Amino acid sequence: MALRQGKKGSTVRTLLSRVWFYLRRRRFDRELDEELAFHLEEKTHTLEASGLPADKAHTTARRALGGALRARERSGDVWAWQFLDELTQDLRFTLRSLRRAPVLTFSVIGTLALGIGATTAIFSGVNAVFLRPLPFPDADRLVFVWETVGEQDRISVTAPDFLDWHRDQRVFERLAAFTSTTVALTAGSEAERLPARRVSADYFRVLRVRPALGRDFTAADEPFGAPKTLLLSDALWRNRFGADPSVLNRELILNGERHTVIGVLPPNVVLEEEAEQLYLPLALTPAERSQPGNRFLRVIARLAPAVSFEHAQSAMAAIMARLALLRPQSNRDWSARLTDMHDTLVGDLGRPLLVLMAAVALVLLIACANVANLQLVRATSRQREVAIRAALGAGRHRILRQSLVESLVLALLGGGAGVLVGAWSAQLMPWLLPDTEPRFAGSILDVRLLAFAAVVTIATGLLFGSAPAWQLSRPDLRDRLSEGGRGTARPERHRVSGMLVVIEIALALALLIGAGLLMRSFLSLQATEPGVRTEGVLTFRVSLPEARYPESAHVSTFFATVLERIRAVPQVMSAGATSALPLRGSGVNLVAPIDGRPKPEFPMFFYRGVTRGYFRALGIAVVKGRDFSPDDREGRPRVAIINQTAARQYWPNDDPIGARLHPDDAGEPVEVIGVVSDTKHFGLRQEPRPELFIAMSQLPPPFWGWMERSMDLVVRTSGEPAQLAAPTRAVVRALDPALPIYQMMTMEEVVSESLATPRKYVLLMVVFGTIALLLAAIGIYGVMAFIVTRRTHEIGVRVALGASRRDILTFVLGRSLRLSAIGLALGVGAALVLSRSIATFLVGVTATDVLTYGAVSALLLVVALVATYIPAQRALRVDPVRALRTE
C-alpha cells in the first residue's frame, strides 16, 4: 500500500512539475539558449586557439555539441510533453505558412467547404428520415395496423373491424384510428378550406402527446351527435390565430356547424400530415359503423409492455380469423398486418436520399483528390525548405506530422466553413421532401449532424493530406539541396498527381453518367402520356358540408346544377366531375367479386365516382360499349365502366360488357356498360391499375362516406383555361356563397405537379454532376500546368534539339489523353456498378444505356482537352535559351 501511494504521489508531482514548466517555458528556453550559447562560444575559442580558422571552428563546435536544437528539445522533454510542445510549434509554423500562400489557402478552404457543406446538407436529410426518431416517446413501439387480402397487404380498415379490434385486442397499450379530410372554415362571409383529421379519442394517447393548451379528446367527445369539439395544431394556432391563448373555448364554424376549440397541440408532433391542421373527433356515423366494406380508416397502435411485434401480429391475425366467421361476406379471407411506424413513414423517401448521399460523397472524394493535388504542388515548391530542415536534424516523423497538421488545419477551416454552408443548404431539404414529412420539424442541426461533420472533416484532412505528407517526409537531401530554388518534381510525384487526376475523372464520369441516366429518365417521364388530354382543361375541387347537404340526393342535385351552368359559360366545350383526379393518387381500393367466378377470388379495383361528361372533358376515349347517359340515374339499373387494364386483367379472353360486379357490400350489383382508355392515376411512373367508375347519380349510401361529398370538377374550354377561373367561381358562389373552391389549376399544372419530386432529385444530381465536372477540369488543368512548369527545362531542350510545335503539343496533350483514357475506363466500370442502385428509378432508359455512357464520356474528354489547352499553349511559348539558362 505504501509503495502504491508513493508511486501515486510521484506521478502527481511529475504532472504538476510539467504543468509548472509549460507555463514558464519561455523563461526556461531563454536560460537554456544562454547556456548552450556559452558552451558553443567556449568550444569555438578552444578550436580557434588550436589553429582552426574562425568560421571552421564555429562549424566544428556546433557539430561537436550534437545540434543545439536537439539538445534543447531533449532537455525540454525532461520537464514537459515534447509532443504537445512540437504540436504547438507545428501549428504556429502552419499558420505562418498558410498566410504566405493566401490564394492556395483560400482555394483549398473553398473547395473543402463546398464538398463538406454539400455532404452535410444531404446528410441532414438522411439524419432526419433514417436516424432521427419520430417525435414521440418510445416511438419504436408504435405500429400501423392494416387489413390484407390476397396480394394487397396495406389496405385501410373498416369501422366495424376497428371497433371489434378495439374491443378484443390485448396486445396493444392503446389502439386508435384516423382518416384525413378537409373542412370549410367560415369567417364572416368568406370560407376557407383547411386540412383536417378525424381521430379517435385515444389517438394522441397512442402517440403520448399532450396538448400544450387545454385538454385532449375524451370518450365523451367521440359519439356521433356529441357536442362538436376540435384541437388546433401549433402551426395553425400561431399562423391563423396569432398564438392567442384565449382561443380556448372559442367557437369556430366548420362546414356550417359550430365547433368549440378545446386545446392546442405542442409543436412538431405531426404524423404524415400538414403542419397547419385541425383535429376533430372521429365520431363515426351510424352508416359508417354499419358498413363492413367501407375501408376508410387508418389504424395506429402502441405495443403493450413485454409484447413483441411478432406476438402482436399473430394476435391480430387470430382476431381477423374470428371476424371472418362472424362476417363471412365482407371478412372472409381477410387478415391483418402490422408495420413499424418509422419504416412506414420512410416509405419511398429512403432510396432517393441514399442515392443523393452517394452522389455527394463522390463530389467530396473528387474535392479531396483536387486538394491533394494542390498540396502536392505546394509540397514540390517546398522541397528545398524541407531538405534544409532535415539536414538540420528534423526527423522524418516530425516532417510527416507537420505536413499532416497543416492538412488537418486546412480541413478544419474548410470543415467549419462547410458546416455553415451545410446548415444553410439544409434549409432546402424541406423543399426536397414532401410537405407531410414530419421529421424536419425542429432544428436541423443536432449532435449527430455535428458529429458527422467533425468525422468527415478529420477524415477529409487525413485523406487529402496523406499523399503530400508522405512525399515531403522522404526528402533526397543531396538532390534537393543541389537543385537550388527550382524544386523540380521527381517522376514519382508526377505519377501521384496523375493517379489523383485519374481518380477525379473516374469519379466524375460515374457521377455524370448517373445524372445523365436520371435526366434521360425524367425527359422520358415528361413525354409519357398521362391518358388524358391536358390542354385547355381547368380543374378545381368543391366539398359540400354534411350539415347543409345531408342526403345523397342533395349532393347529386348540387353538382348536376353546377355542371349544367358551367356548360352554359361561353367557350366551355364540356364539363364533368370525379371523386379523384388522375395523377393525384387519391381514392379508394375495393374488392368487387364478379358474378360466375369461382371463390375465393379478389378482383381489386380502384374506385371512382364520376358524372356524365367527365370522360369527354378529359379526353378519355370510350373504346368499347358506351359512356354514362342521363338515363343512368337513381332508380334505374346500376351501371359501371372499367378501364382497359381491368378488362385485360379480369376478362383476358372474354367481353366484359354485361358482366356484373358486387363492389363490397354495396347491395345491388352493377353492370359493366363500357371500357375506357387507361389513365395514369398514380403518377406517370406507375402502370395503370384496374379502375371501376360508377355514375355519381347511382352511388349507394356507403360510397358517400368514402367520397365525403368532395368532387374535382373538370372543365374543357376552347380558350385559355385560366380565363374560366372567375366565371366558374361565380357559378359555384351563386349556388352557395359559403362554399370554398380550392386546388384550382389547369390540367397541365396537375401533370407538372406530379413531376415535382423527380424534378427536384434530377436537378440536385445535375448540380452535383456539374460540380464534379468543374472540379475534375480544375484538377486536370492544375496537374498539366504543374507538369509544364516543372519540365520547362526538358521542353526547352526538346525545342533546342529541333522539336516542332506539333511535337511539343503532342507531348503535353498526350499525357492528358493518357490520364483521361485511364480515368474514363475506370469510370465506366464504376458507373456500371453504381448505376444498378438507380435502376428502379429509371423510366424509358436502362442502367447501361450506351448513348448516355458515350455522350458523357465524350463530354468529359472534351473538358479534359480544354483544361489542357492553356498549359499546352504555355509549353509552346517556352524560349529554349531562357529555359536552359535557368538551369
Domain limits, the chain: 79-141+360-475, 151-332, 505-523+754-886, 545-738
Residues 6+ apart with CB under 8 A from 41: none
pLDDT digits (tens, 9 = 90+) for 118-147: 888 888 888 878 888 888 999 999 999 999
Bond into 135 cis (ω within 30): no
- Residues 197, 178 contacting (CB under 8 angstroms): yes
* pLDDT given for residue 636 in this prediction: 87
Q: Which DSSP symbol is given to 129?
A: I
- Better pLDDT: 83 or 782: 782
State the SS3 of 517-565. HHHHHHHHHHCCCCCCCCCCEEEEEEECCCCCCCCHHHHHHHHHHHHHH
Q: Which DSSP symbol is given to 594?
A: B
Between 384-388, 576-580, 600-604, 727-731, the lowest mean confidence (pLDDT) is in 384-388
- Better pLDDT: 478 or 354: 354
Mean pLDDT, residues 440-455 taken together: 72
The SS3 call for residue 735 is: helix
Residues 6+ apart with CB under 8 A from 734: 565
Residues 6+ apart with CB under 8 A from 58: 40, 44
State the SS3 of 576-590. EEECCCCCCCCCEEE
* pLDDT given for residue 398 in this prediction: 67
State the SS3 of 630-695. CCCCCCCCCEEEEEHHHHHHHCCCCCCCCCEECCCCCCCCEEEEEEECCCCCCCCCCCCCCEEEEE
- Residues 596, 578 contacting (CB under 8 angstroms): no
* pLDDT given for residue 805 in this prediction: 74
Mean pLDDT, residues 160-184 taken together: 94
Q: How many CB atoms lie within 10 A of CB 746?
A: 20
Q: How many CB atoms lie within 10 A of CB 115?
A: 29
Chain centroid to CA 21: how far?
A: 53
* pLDDT given for residue 437 in this prediction: 54
Select the highest-mean-pLDDT range: 309-323, 354-368, 399-413: 309-323
The DSSP result for 453-512, as a single string, is: HHHHHHHHHHHHHHHHHHHHTS--HHHHHHTTT--PPPHHHHHHHHHHHHHHHHHHHHHH
The SS3 call for residue 755 is: coil
Chain centroid to CA 418: how far?
A: 18
- Provide long-range contacts, Cβ within 8 A and 24+ apart, for 645-654: 645/678, 645/687, 645/688, 645/689, 645/690, 645/691, 646/605, 646/675, 646/690, 646/691, 646/692, 647/675, 649/690, 650/594, 650/603, 650/690
How sure is the predictor about 507, in pLDDT bands with cuts at 50, 70 and 90? very high
DSSP bridge pairs for 377: none
The SS3 call for residue 64 is: helix
Whether 726 has a pLDDT exceeding 90, the answer reads yes
Question: How far is Cα 244 from Cα 397, in angstroms, rounded to an integer?
Answer: 66
The SS3 call for residue 84 is: helix
- Better pLDDT: 365 or 71: 365
* pLDDT given for residue 472 in this prediction: 61
Helix (H) or strand (E) holding 278: strand 278-281
Whether 213 has a pLDDT exceeding 80, the answer reads yes
What backbone phi and psi angles, to 5 degrees, belong to 864? -65, -40
Question: How far is Cα 230 from Cα 209, in angstroms, rounded to an integer?
Answer: 15
Between 19-33, 102-116, 733-747, the lowest mean confidence (pLDDT) is in 19-33
- Better pLDDT: 742 or 488: 742
* pLDDT given for residue 267 in this prediction: 87
Mean pLDDT, residues 825-841 taken together: 90
Mean pLDDT, residues 595-614 taken together: 82
Chain centroid to CA 433: how far?
A: 7
The SS3 call for residue 767 is: helix
pLDDT digits (tens, 9 = 90+) for 84-94: 666 777 788 77
pLDDT digits (tens, 9 = 90+) for 686-697: 889 999 998 888
Question: How far is Cα 517 from Cα 520, in angstroms, rounded to an integer?
Answer: 5
- Residues 8, 66 contacting (CB under 8 angstroms): no
- Provide long-range contacts, Cβ within 8 A and 24+ apart, for 166-172: 168/319, 168/322, 169/301, 169/315, 169/316, 169/319, 170/304, 170/315, 171/303, 171/304, 171/307, 171/311, 171/312, 171/315, 171/316, 172/301, 172/302, 172/303, 172/304, 172/307, 172/312
**Which CA distances in Å does 645 have to 588, 595, 641, 642, 648?**
17, 19, 12, 8, 5
Question: How far is Cα 801 from Cα 781, in angstroms, rounded to an integer?
Answer: 27
How sure is the predictor about 494, in pLDDT bands with cuts at 50, 70 and 90? low
* pLDDT given for residue 10 in this prediction: 54
- Better pLDDT: 631 or 28: 631
Chain centroid to CA 484: how far?
A: 54
Hey, what's the cell of 634? 337513381
Whether 194 has a pLDDT exceeding 80, the answer reads yes
Percent of the chain's residues with pLDDT above 70: 81
Mean pLDDT, residues 777-787 taken together: 80
Nearest to 610 by CA among 677, 698, 544: 698
Residues 6+ apart with CB under 8 A from 89: none
**Across all residues in the chain, what is the average pLDDT?**
82
Residue type, 755: L
Q: How many CB atoms lie within 10 A of CB 17?
A: 13
Whether 744 has a pLDDT exceeding 90, the answer reads yes
How sure is the predictor about 228, in pLDDT bands with cuts at 50, 70 and 90? very high
The SS3 call for residue 242 is: coil
Mean pLDDT, residues 156-166 taken together: 94
Hey, what's the cell of 857? 464520356
| C-alpha atoms less than 13 angstroms from C-alpha of 393 in its C-beta half-sphere | 12
* pLDDT given for residue 424 in this prediction: 81
Question: How far is Cα 445 from Cα 51, in angstroms, rounded to an integer?
Answer: 74
* pLDDT given for residue 26 in this prediction: 64
State the SS3 of 372-394. HHHHHHHHHHCHHHHHHHHHCCC
* pLDDT given for residue 421 in this prediction: 86
Whether 477 has a pLDDT exceeding 60, the answer reads no
* pLDDT given for residue 1 in this prediction: 46
| C-alpha atoms less than 13 angstroms from C-alpha of 478 in its C-beta half-sphere | 0
* pLDDT given for residue 373 in this prediction: 81
Percent of the chain's residues with pLDDT above 90: 37
pLDDT digits (tens, 9 = 90+) for 651-687: 998 999 999 998 765 567 899 999 999 999 888 888 8
Is beta strand 588-591 parallel, antiparallel or unpaired with respect to 710-717? unpaired
Burial 783-807 (b: 16+ CB within 10 A, else e): bbbbbbbbbbbebbebbeeebeeee
Burial 80-113 (b: 16+ CB within 10 A, else e): beeeeebeeebeeebeebbeeeeebbebbbebbb
The SS3 call for residue 794 is: helix
* pLDDT given for residue 655 in this prediction: 93
Nearest to 489 by CA among 407, 406, 378: 378
Q: Provide the residue count of the chain.
A: 887
Residue type, 505: I
Mean pLDDT, residues 796-819 taken together: 78
